[in-house]
Chain A
C-alpha cells in the first residue's frame, strides 16, 4: 500500500509540475532583455548626423535593440569611456586621437563595434568609387568632359578611379577656390566635380558668368544650396550621400556582424528631386515615416 501511495504522490507531483510549466505565461521581450547599441560621436548636430542616427535607430528597432547616443569630448573622454555600458557600439568620431582612444577602449572591453570612416576596410562608408561611376554614367557621351577636384583625400581618390572610365586619358584637374579657372574648362560642355568644394567652385563660376550656363555640371552634394542649384539647373545632377543608410548598416554590422554593401549615394536631378523616394535625400529634415 505504501508503494502505491508513493507512486500516486509521485504522479501527482509530476502532474503539478507539468501544470505549472503549462501555465507559464508567454514570455515577451522586456526592456531588460534589450541589447544596447551605443552611438559614439563628437558632433551630434547637423542633418548628416541626425539622419545617420535615424538609420541606426531603425536598425535597432528591427533588431529589438535600444540605441543610446554618447557625445564625447576630448577633455573628458577617459571619464566618459569609463561609464560606458553597451552590447555593441557604432563610432562616428571625426577626430583621429579621440577615435583611437575609443577604439582602444572598445577592444579592451570586448565590445563589438564598427566605425563610420572613409575608405578603411571593415568600416562603414560610402562606396565612393561606385558612386562616382554612377554619376559619370549619366554624362552624355558626346559632351567634352572635364573633371575637377579641390583636395585629393581618400574619398576623392576613389571617386577619381570610378570616373576614369568615362574620362579616357584625361586626368582630373585640381582647382583652388579663389584662383583662375583652368583653361580646359572653357572648352568643356560637361564638368564632373569630384567633391563638394569643387562643385561649389564651378557653381560660383557659372553664377558669375565665368562659365557658360549651358555647361552641364555633375557634382557632389552642396548641402546648403543643393535645392536651389538643382532647381535652377546650375547643377545638372548631384550625388547625394546616404547617412541614413550608413547609420542603418553600421548599427546592423555592430550588433550582428552582418555587413551590407556600402551605399553608392543617389544621383538627383531637377527632374527627380521632388520624387517621393528622393525626399529624404534632398530634404533630409522632412519626416517621411
Chain B
C-alpha cells in the first residue's frame, strides 16, 4: 500500500534547517561585530594619524626650543651696555658661523639703530627697521617671549636677500645710565622649518602644514602653488581650533584634520589625512570579513549537505529496502551503517525480515507437504474405470474359459495393488516401479491385444535405486489413453527405459503415436488442473515437491512421429536425497 500524500522531504528540511541556522549565526556576527570592528579600526587609524602629527609637532617644538636656547645664549653674550665694548661682536659672529641655519644675527637699540649685525650694513634707514613687525612684536613682549615672524624675504641688509623666519626678542640695555628696550634679531632660513613639515606623510597623499595665529600659512608642502594661486588650502576646518580633530571634505574626499599647537610660536601644525587612505586597512578588513563570512557560509552549507546526507542515507536505504520488501523481495536486507539509532532500526528491520522469511518458508513448506500428500493420495487411488475394465475383462475371460489368462490378469492386478500399497511407503526401488508399470501394461495388453506393443529396458545399475512410486504407470496410461485412439489402427510402440546419467536417475517413456500438438505441449506441465494432462502434471509436481525444482518431467514431441517423456530424478539408494 502506497501513501500517496507526500509531505516535505526530511532531507530538505534538515538541509534547510542547518543552512538557515548557520547563516543566521554568521549574519548575526556580521551585523554585530562587523561595524564595531570596522569603527575600531578607523578609530585606530585616526589615532595613528594623530600620533604622527603629535610626534611631528613635538619634533617641530624641539627645534623651536633649540632656537629659543640659541636666542637665550645670544642674550647671555650681550653686555648690559652694548656700546661699552665690542668684545661680544666676535662671540655673536662665532655663534652665527657655528649654526648654518642662521642667516643673520643683529642687535638693535630702541630706535632700530643696529649695535651689531653679522650681515654688514643695513640697506634702508633705521626708521624702517623700528617699523618692522618683528621689531614691534619683540618690544611688546618686553624681553620675556621670543617672537617668531611669518616667513619673509629679509631685505634689511645690503646686497643680501634671504627667505627667513625672524626670531626677535626684547633686550634691556643701559644707555646713558638709563635702561632701554632694544631688540635681538635672529634670521633662520625658512627651509629649516619647511623641511620639518614637508617630510610628514599621512597615508599616501596626506600631508601637514603650519598655520600662524591669524590663519596665515607659515609653511606648506605646496607653498609655491598656494603663492601662485594654483592650489588653495581651505582653512575653515582649522579656524579657531588650537588642538583637536576635525572632519571635512577636501577635493570631494572625506578627510580628517588633526590640529596640534606648536608651543612658543603660537603656530599650529595641521595634519590632513584622507579617509579612503587611512581606511585602506578598514576596507581590506571589510573585504576579508565578507570573504570569511561567505566562505564560512559556503562551508556551513557544505557541512550541512554532508551531514544531512550522512543522516539521511541510511534512512533512504531503509526506505528502498522496505519498498523492495513491499514488492515481494523478502531476501532484501538492510546493510548496517550510519548512526547508532539508524543501526538499531536497521537491525530490527533485518530481524523482522528474517522472521518473516522464516515464517513464509515454513508456510511454503507446509503447503508443499500438504500438496505432496494430496498428490500421493491421489496417485495411490486406482482409476475406477481401469479397475472396472480389468474386472470386466477377467469375467469375460472366465466366461470364455480362459482361466489361464484370467489368472494371469488377476495375478498382475494383485501385484499392481501390492506395489501401489507398498506398505504405505512413498518410495520404492526402480525395479518395483518397473514391475508396477509392467503389471499395468500386462493387464492393458490383455485388453488391447495387438493395438500396442511395449518394451521395458532398464540398466542394471538403475534397478536398486529408489524413486517415488507410481510415476511410470500414469505416463503409460496417458500414452495408451491418447495414442491408441489416435493411431487409427496402427500398432503403437511403447518403450520404457531406466538408466543413470551422472548423479541422476532417468526414466523415459516413448511412443510412436501421433504426438502432441505444439501449443498443447507448451502448457502441458503448467496448465491449471481440470484440463488434459493432469496425470503428467501430478507426476511432475510430485517429483518436484519431493526432490526439488531441478527434477521432474521433460516432454519432447513431434506430430506424427511420437512423444518422448524423460523423467529425471536424483540418483540414490536409500533415505531422502
A and B: interacting chains: yes
**Interface set, chain B 295-311, CB cutoff 8 A to A:** 295, 298-299, 301-302, 305-306, 309
B378 near A: Cβ within 8 Å?
no
**Residue A248 contacts which of B162, B225, B294 (CB distance < 8 angstroms)?**
B225
Cβ distance B465 to chain A, nearest Cβ, rounded Å:
56
A79 near B: Cβ within 8 Å?
no
CB atoms of B151 and A276 under 8 A apart: yes
CB atoms of A286 and B153 under 8 A apart: yes
Residues on the B chain within 8 Å of A277, using CB: 226-227
Q: How far is the CA of A216 from the CA of B233 in the complex (A)?
A: 36
Q: Using A1-B309, A288-B194 as known contacts, say yes or no to A23 and B228 having CB atoms under 8 A apart.
A: no
Q: How far is the CA of A54 from the CA of B284 in the complex (A)?
A: 36
**Residue A8 contacts which of B224, B284, B287, B302 (CB distance < 8 angstroms)?**
B302
Q: Using A7-B305, A21-B291, A54-B224 as known contacts, say yes or no to A15 and B298 having CB atoms under 8 A apart.
A: yes
CB atoms of B230 and A274 under 8 A apart: no
Residues on the B chain within 8 Å of A28, using CB: 204
Q: Closest residue of chain B to A54, judged by CB? A: B224
Q: Is the interface of A mostly helix, strand, loop or mixed?
A: helix
A155 near B: Cβ within 8 Å?
no
CB atoms of B224 and A288 under 8 A apart: yes
Cβ distance A245 to chain B, nearest Cβ, rounded Å:
5
Mask: chain B, 514-534; 1 = CB below 8 Å from A; 0 = not: 000000000000000000000
Among B284, B302, B305, max chain A CB count under 10 A is at: B302
CB atoms of A289 and B302 under 8 A apart: no
**Residue B306 contacts which of A8, A18, A22, A286 (CB distance < 8 angstroms)?**
A8
A227 near B: Cβ within 8 Å?
yes
B126 near A: Cβ within 8 Å?
no
Cβ distance A239 to chain B, nearest Cβ, rounded Å:
14
Cβ distance A7 to chain B, nearest Cβ, rounded Å:
6
Q: How far is the CA of A286 from the CA of B153 in the complex (A)?
A: 9
A279 near B: Cβ within 8 Å?
yes
Q: How far is the CA of A248 from the CA of B229 in the complex (A)?
A: 11
CB atoms of A22 and B291 under 8 A apart: yes
CB atoms of B298 and A288 under 8 A apart: no
Q: How far is the CA of A58 from the CA of B224 in the complex (A)?
A: 9
Cβ distance A23 to chain B, nearest Cβ, rounded Å:
7
Q: How far is the CA of A54 from the CA of B220 in the complex (A)?
A: 16
Q: Using A287-B163, A288-B194, A289-B194 as known contacts, say yes or no to A4 and B305 having CB atoms under 8 A apart.
A: yes
A278 near B: Cβ within 8 Å?
yes
**Interface set, chain B 274-298, CB cutoff 8 A to A:** 280-281, 284, 287-288, 290-292, 294-295, 298
CB atoms of A280 and B299 under 8 A apart: no
A149 near B: Cβ within 8 Å?
no
CB atoms of B302 and A12 under 8 A apart: yes
CB atoms of A19 and B291 under 8 A apart: yes
Residues on the B chain within 8 Å of A279, using CB: 151-153, 163, 227
Number of interface residues of A (CB under 8 A): 40
Q: Closest residue of chain A to B216, judged by CB? A: A276
Among B190, B194, B281, B290, max chain A CB count under 10 A is at: B190
CB atoms of A11 and B301 under 8 A apart: yes
B161 near A: Cβ within 8 Å?
yes
Q: How far is the CA of A18 from the CA of B288 in the complex (A)?
A: 9
Q: How far is the CA of A15 from the CA of B302 in the complex (A)?
A: 11
A282 near B: Cβ within 8 Å?
yes
**Residue B298 contacts which of A11, A275, A282 (CB distance < 8 angstroms)?**
A11
**Residue A288 contacts which of B227, B291, B305 (CB distance < 8 angstroms)?**
B227
Q: Closest residue of chain B to A15, judged by CB? A: B295
B429 near A: Cβ within 8 Å?
no
Q: Using A245-B230, A289-B194 as known contacts, say yes or no to A280 and B224 having CB atoms under 8 A apart.
A: yes
A283 near B: Cβ within 8 Å?
yes
B198 near A: Cβ within 8 Å?
yes
Residues on the A chain within 8 Å of B162, using CB: 286
B313 near A: Cβ within 8 Å?
yes
Q: Using A22-B292, A280-B227 as known contacts, say yes or no to A288 and B284 having CB atoms under 8 A apart.
A: no
Residues on the A chain within 8 Å of B191, using CB: 287
CB atoms of A288 and B306 under 8 A apart: no
Q: How far is the CA of A273 from the CA of B309 in the complex (A)?
A: 87
B222 near A: Cβ within 8 Å?
yes
B150 near A: Cβ within 8 Å?
yes
CB atoms of A4 and B230 under 8 A apart: no
Among A7, A244, A248, A289, max chain B CB count under 10 A is at: A289
A26 near B: Cβ within 8 Å?
yes
B245 near A: Cβ within 8 Å?
no
Q: How far is the CA of A21 from the CA of B299 in the complex (A)?
A: 17
User: Can you list 7 A-B pairs, Cβ within 8 angstroms, ordered by A?
Assistant: A4-B309, A18-B298, A22-B290, A58-B222, A58-B224, A273-B153, A287-B163
Q: Which A residues lie at the B interface, using CB under 8 A?
A: 1, 4, 7-8, 11-12, 14-15, 18-19, 21-23, 26, 28, 54-55, 58, 227, 231, 242, 244-245, 248, 260, 263, 273-280, 282-283, 286-289
Q: Which B residues lie at the A interface, using CB under 8 A?
A: 123, 150-153, 155, 161-163, 190-191, 194, 198, 204, 220-228, 230, 280-281, 284, 287-288, 290-292, 294-295, 298-299, 301-302, 305-306, 309, 313
Contacts A22-B287, A276-B153, A289-B198 supplied; 17 other A-B pairs, CB < 8 Å? A4-B306, A12-B299, A12-B302, A19-B295, A21-B291, A22-B288, A22-B290, A22-B292, A55-B224, A231-B123, A244-B228, A245-B230, A277-B227, A283-B163, A288-B224, A289-B222, A289-B223
